[in-house]
Structure 1
Amino acid sequence: MSSGPYPTPGLSGALINAPERQLFASRDLAQTRALVAQVMKPHDLHVHGGSQQLNSRMHHMAFGGVSLNRLKYGADVDIEPGSLDDFYLIQMPLAGHAHIASGGQQVESDPDVASVISPTESTVMRWSADCDQLMVRIDRQLVERAVGARTGRGEPEAVRFQLAFPWRDSAPWRCLLFYLNDCANHPFDAVQYRLMVAQIEQLVVSTLVAAQPHNLGDVKPARCTAVLPRHVRRVQDYLREHASEPVNADQLALIAGVSLRSLYAGFRDYCGVSPLQYLRNLRLDGARQTLLNEPDSNIANVAMRWGFGHLGRFSIEYKQRFGESPSQSVRRG
C-alpha cells in the first residue's frame, strides 16, 4: 500500500469539504492550544524549532460521545497531553508522520499506521509539519461499558489498546470512516436524531473493539447459568418502554444481568430474533403508528425519528413486516 499523502480515495477531503465543520484556522500558538483543548483536553503544545510558525486548522463533527475530527498544525510540534483520562483517541495521518509514545508503547505513525491512545496511558507526541490527521474521539465510558458487557463483567474495567493500528487493513474500520464522513457532509441534528446518534456510538465502539487488540480481548465471558425466560422478559419489558429512546446491546446485557453472548442466545431460543432485531421491530411498529395517526408527517422524518437512517432500507423492512409501503400507510391514515 502506498504511504504517500491521501492514498485512500474519498478521505482526502474528509471534513474539509464541509466548511461548516471548521472550528478554527489560526497562526497563534496559544489560541490553537486553547481551541484544540475544547474538543480534547488541556495540554502542552510547542513548536519544534524557532524558525517555524503555526498554520493550524481543525474541523470537527460530534455524534454524541463520539466525534470525527481533522487537525493540522502546519509546523513540527511537540504535544504533551499526559493521560487523556476520559476518552480514547484514534489518530490516522492522511499525510505526514508522527511519533507517539504512550504508556510503554511507541509507534511511528504514518498514512498506513494509526495510533490508538488509551485514556490511562501518559502520552507525548511529535507531529511533522505536514502531518494532517483524521481523528476519532470516543468517550471512555462507551468503550468500557461495551467490553464489560461482552465479558459479562458488571463493573467497568480499564481497556488498554495496542498502540499501533494498521487501520487500512481493516475493511470495517475504513467503511466506518466513510460513513461518518458522509454523515458530516450533510445537515445532521444530533438532538433530533438521538436514536441514530446512539447507533453511531455503538457502531464505532464495536468496530474498534473488534478490529484492535486490547488487554481484555482474551477474557472469556463470565460463566452463568442458562438464560431463564424471566431474563428475556426483563429485557422485552425494557425495550417496550424505551423503544423511542437510545438503546444498545451492551446496556441490555447489564439490564439482563448476563453476558452479551448469553443474552443473544436467550433471545434466539425464546424469541427467534436478536435483542436488537426485536427492538427494530418495535420501532417499525412505532413508525407505523406515527404514519397512521399523523398522515401529514414526512416519511423520511418519521423514519429518522425512529432511528432508521437509510430510507430505502426502512421502506423494505416496513413492507416486509406490514405488507404495505410507508406511503400506502400514509394514504390509509
Structure 2
Amino acid sequence: MLSPFRTGPPRLLQGHPVFTSRDIDDAREQVARLFCAHGLQQVGAAQALDCHMHRVPLGALSLNYLGYGADVEITPGCLGSFYLVQIPLAGQAEIRCGRQRAESDTRTAVVLSPDQPVAMRWHADCAQLMLHIPRALVEQRVSSAPDRPGARLDFALALPQSTGPAAGWCRMVLDLAHNIDAHGAAWLNHAAAVASLQDMLLAGLLSLQPHDQSAAAPSPEALPRHVQRATEFIRAQAEQALGVTDIARAACVSVRALEEGFRRHLGTTPGAYLRTVRLQQVHAQLRAAAREGRAVPLYEMAYRYGFFHLGRFSAYYKAQFGEPPSATLKRR
C-alpha cells in the first residue's frame, strides 16, 4: 500500500479504496476501467504523481473520490455512456465540455454531458468527489413514454456549489459521502433505500441544474383530460389523506390508466407528483411565514402535508429547493 497524499487534499470514502498509484500509465488504465478510455498526461516533471481513487456503488450510480497529486491533463473526448458530476473538495480545475468552459473549485462544480467532448486540467491540489450516472437513467426520466428511447439531454456545465438552487443538492452529495465515512455503508445493502436515494439524486439534479430539456414539459392544455383532472385534484386536495385510488376516482379512470397517463405525459408517478405538489405548498407557506416574521413549527408543517419521517421530509425539500426548510424560514 502506498502512503497517503503527502500534502493537503481531503480524502473521502477512505474505507472503499479502488487503487493507489504513482505511475501515470497505471493510473490511466485503472480509471479507464471504471469510467472510459482517456488521455492522461502529467504537466511538468517536478511533481510526483500520487493518485488515489475510492468508490461506493449506489445502485446503478456510483460515488467516487479521485485525486492525482500532480498537475494533469485529462482528455476523454465524449464520455458516451454516462454523465459525471465533479464536485471539487480542494484545489482547482479548468474544464471544457463542448463549447462551454468553467473554472472549477470549491465554489463551482461541473456536470459533464456524454455527447460533448471533454478536456480538463486538474491542478496538483485538486481532489474531487464525483457522481457517475449512466445516461440511460437520465434519458429515461425525460422520455415521453417508458417504451420509447430517451431523448438526448445536455446539462449546463457549471454547477454552483455555494449559491443558487443547486447548492443544496451539492451539499447533499457531500453529506452522503461524509455519512458513509462516519457510519459505514451497510445500509446500502437495502435495495429500497438505494432506490429511494438514486431517485432523489436524479430528480434533484434534473430539477435544479439547467439543461436543454428544461422547458420540454407539456403545458396543462396539452395533457389528456383525465391527467388534467388528476393534477387539479392533487393541487386542490394536497393537505388531505390521498392515495392513488382516490386520485384515480377523481380522474374517472382506473388506477392503471392513471399511472400510465402520468408516466406517458408527465414522466412521473401520481405519488411522486403528489409529493412534489405538497413540497411546493410547504415552500410557499414557509416563504410567507418568513416574510411576515411568523414562527412555524416545521414538524407541524411536515405532518400537515403527510410527511411523517422528518429526516426524509427535509431531504426531499432540500433536493427540490436547494436548501433545508429551516433556511427558507430564515429568509426575509
Write the distance in 1 (CA, Å) between the matches of 2:189 and 2:42: 41
- The equivalent of 1:206 in structure 2 is 203
In 1: Cα distance, 2:265 partner to 2:181 partner: 36
Q: Which residue matches 1:40?
A: 35
Match of 1:99 in 2: 94
Question: 1:233 matched to which residue of 2?
Answer: 255
Deviation at 1:14, TM superposition (A): 3.0
Alignment counterpart, residue 264 of structure 2, candidates 251, 257, 264: 257
Q: C-alpha distance in 1, partners of 2:33/2:253?
A: 42
2:13–2:177 CA contact under 8 A, matched in 1: no
Matched, 1:15 2:13: yes
Say yes or no: does 1:28 pair with 2:6. no
Cα distance change of structure 1 residues 31 and 152 upon mapping to structure 2, 3 Å threshold: closer
Say which of 154, 163, 184 aligns to 2:157.
163
Amino acid across the alignment from 1:264? P
Cα offset, 1:235, TM superposition: 7.0
Report deviation, 1:68.
Answer: 1.1
SS at match of 2:47: coil
Taking structure 1 as the reference length, the TM-score comes to: 0.65
> Is the partner of 2:142 in helix, strand or coil?
helix
Does 156-165 or 217-226 show the bigger shift?
Answer: 217-226
Pairing partner for 1:177 from 174, 187, 196: 174
| Distance apart, 1:231 and its partner CA | 6.0
- Amino acid of the residue matched to residue 61 of structure 1? V
Distance 1:154 1:227, change over 3 A: farther
| 1:87 CA drift (Å) | 0.8
**Contact conserved, 1:84 with 1:118, CA < 8 A, in 2?**
yes
Alignment partners' CA distance in 2, 1:174 and 1:28 = 33
Q: Provide the C-alpha distance between the structure 1 equivalents of 2:43 and 2:185, rounded to a whole number of angstroms.
A: 38
Equivalent pairs counted in the alignment come to: 248
1:28 partner letter: D
Counterpart code for 1:26 = S
Partner of 1:215: 212
Tell me the residue number matched to 1:246: none
- Percent same amino acid among aligned pairs? 33
Pairs within 5 Å for 1:49-198: 49-148=44-143, 154-169=148-163, 170-183=167-180, 185-188=182-185, 192-198=189-195
Question: Which amino acid is the alignment partner of residue 37 of structure 1?
Answer: A
1:177–1:76 CA distance, 2 compared to 1 (3 A): same
Displacement of 1:173 in angstroms is 3.0
Asked whether the 8 Å contact 1:46–1:77 carries over to 2, the reply is: yes
Which letter does structure 2 place at the counterpart of 1:160?
Answer: D
Post-superposition offset of 1:220: 2.7
Q: What is the alpha-carbon distance in structure 1 between the residues aligned to residue 193 and residue 40 of structure 2?
A: 35
RMSD between aligned residues: 3.4
Secondary structure of 1:258 counterpart:
helix
> CA offset at residue 23 of structure 1?
1.2
Instruction: Map Cα deviations across residues 1-47 of structure 1 (whole Å, 9 max, x no partner).
Output: xxxx88xxxxx55323xxx2111111011111111112211111111
**Contact 1:234 1:255 survives alignment (8 Å):** no
2:223 matches 1:224: yes
Report how far residue 162 of structure 1 moved.
Answer: 0.6
**In structure 1, C-alpha distance between the alignment counterparts of 2:147 and 2:210, rounded to whole Å:** 19
2:215 maps to a residue whose letter is D
Q: 1:26/1:220 Cα in 2 relative to 1: closer, same or farther (>3 Å)?
A: same
User: Which blocks of at least 5 consecutive residues in structure 1 are unaligned?
Assistant: 7-11, 237-251, 278-309, 314-333
TM-score (norm 2): 0.65
Q: CA deviation at 1:312?
A: 9.1
Which string of whole-angstrom CA distances, capped at 9 and with x for unpartnered residues, describes residues 48-85 of structure 1? 11333311111111111211111110111010111111
In structure 1, the residue corresponding to 2:101 is in which secondary structure? strand
Q: Is the 8 A contact 1:107 1:163 kept in 2?
A: yes
Offset of 1:122 from its aligned partner? 0.6
Q: Offset at 1:253?
A: 5.7
CA distance in 1, matches of 2:129, 2:77: 20
